[in-house]
Structure 1
Amino acid sequence: MDFSLTKEQKMIKEMVSDFAEKEIKPLAIELDRESKFSEHLFKRIGELGLLGIPFPEKYGGSGAGTIAYAIAVEEIGKVCGGTGLSYAAAVSLGSSPIYYFGTEEQKEQYLVPLAKGEGLASFGLTEPNAGSDAGGTQTKAELVGDEYVINGEKCWITNASYAKTITVTAVTGKDERGKNIISAIIVPAGTPGMTITSPYEKMGVRASNTSQIVLENVRVPKENILGDSRKGFKQFLYTLDGGRISIAALAVGLAQGAYEKALAYAKERKQFGKPISSFQAIQFKLADMAMEIELARNMVYKAAWLKDQGKPFAKESAFAKLYASEMAFRTCNQAIQIHGGYGYMREYEVERFLRDSKLLEIGEGTSEIQRLVIARQIGC
């Protein structure tokens, strides 16, 4: 779909691709092996203006829109799924809610430095007993005088250990029907009572920081409530709709990276006196991979375009996230198959792409949840 990209979008694609190839790719194996988040790379990502791509210039961004941002996610994901995930989460989940729902004062104080690349943001939604059932949030925030006092626990939170700003969801009361009111509250890093650890040993996306947050009598000014205190649940549903576009873009990037490795290997590897790319069994695998990647990319671009146009995009973002994540796992698996025994070895990297891709069927709404979202959108 390159032919339809604007000049600005093509420039962003070229710039991010060059950066990813020269600066991220050489570190990818080490970051995965050591389960290491690279502060150096994210400093560079900030310097290049990538953390502000979708936000208006008045808030420190470049105003390039969601398609350009999805392109950047794809290009980073093509070389390192973990770095791609942390980048996607910083923008879609960390900074975006402040842009969507924050007051002008909050945007000035928190969003501007984030969009300028002066720090990362994180979004604390998932809890040990409230993953897909986000309405089951147990973290509580009580208004005491002019402050919210927050108590609870969050798990599997991307970037929290390195974030400047963490937005957490918490129950702040009951509505007229007796249901929990869930609000989003901005908690600056270093706030007393907030303990962040990274105790997880993960299968994939190991270059991404994943943290546990414990909140014990954490006090923040009541002005830190994000938007309408009674609409936190709707706010994070909208945030997740946007985040699904970036996860789908990341899936396309991972699949593209694995496909390119498999194609190059098939042309070099000889069996029975011929390159294995001359065998129909391998050709059909590669043809299916190329076709499915292109289909997924077009779904990502459509959802991103709808979002940029201010049109409803919840169904399309679920389409894109579901199809692209499952496509990425299939494609990475086939890339290993084409490599044969070499594909099972870490140095050939396609096994890392498969491990990284699995998370995309789980995070930001499992495949099962995406099917529920789609079912509701089509009137079931």
Structure 2
Amino acid sequence: MSTADSTAARPRLADLSLSAMIAGLVAVLVGYTSSAAIILQAAAALGATPAQAQSWLIALGLGTGALCLALSLRYRAPLLFAWSTPGAALIATLPAGSTLAAATGAFLFSALLILICGVTGLFARVVERIPRALAAAMLAGVLVRFGLELFTSLSLAPTLVTAMLLAYLLAKRMAPRYAVLAALVIGIAVASLEGSLHFEHMQASFAWPSPVWPRFEFAALLGIGVPLFVVTMVSQNLPGTAVLRQHGYTTPVSPLISASGAMTLLLAPFGVFALNLAAITAAICAGPEAHEDPRRRYMAAVCAGLVYLLAGLCGAMIVGLFAAFPQALVMAIAGIALLGTLGSSLADALGAPAHREAALVVFLVTASSLELFGIGSAFWGLVIGALWLALARRRRGITS
């Protein structure tokens, strides 16, 4: 699907579908349940008060929702954004003594670097040089954990997950567009019967953002700002771009990176440490489960954006709602929703014989969760795979 095709027509309400709505809801569910606790740990590591920690969740939800909604409608593509979960983990492990004001200054510095990468087109030029097979292999390596956890969750809740798998398979045969919805509905029903839904932590309350005046300290700029920038670009924006390309969306990358950097700059005083292109949750909205017509999948990201905005406005109430679902249900629905994307990524990665071995190396390194110098395995998978491919080409040139 070309950008020209996606931007030629205006968004239409007729493009909305139940499958897109479910894909958007599942994406937000996975986003919150996989990282809300890490965000709260990061805020606590900087000495944030409960009100300030709540401000982080509010601002992150509003910023993410605004980006998803505005840019998906602008480009008519499933452009899902998220906060940098690796960035939150980085902040959560900061040594004692790091202050919230100095960290806020570092958030602004990191956002400025991201904005510069977007405005200058530097990031887009790097992405264009990555072979499609290697990008697909990296995406498969990122997603394979969710495929494995789908079946790992069988040991946690065999009845629940078996019922979800059967519902998915039956619906896939009879009504493919609603297969993920069927799995989710059956999962919630079985979890309710088993008594594993817990809504006691929900709070019916609204909160207001609490700003922090930034302080620019050289040590924090280097110790927090630079690593946060690197982690966000290579562990989040790079796989996020691969998701779009894997599904045939040629939306220009530079405006997306620029928008995420600008939004982070705007909301950093309220606790937004880094916003970026989503990868895992984006694959849910960009895949065939959202809609069989790629031109209508943008509505999945629009729906996700609306839910993120609602989550930002409602704060603890929405987070408590997502936390009510048992972990096995979340693991299972994420794995089910990503099966199609994982399969197509593996097919593209291994389809070209000339790139097959290098792509396999990218997949294995990315799936290994290797981390060096604070940078995640997705980046190292591409680096090692690119070197492998270059040496293989040189070897073939020498022997021919």
TM-score (ref. length: structure 2): 0.26
Q: Which has the higher helix share?
A: 2
TM-score (ref. length: structure 1): 0.27
Q: Which has the higher strand share?
A: 1
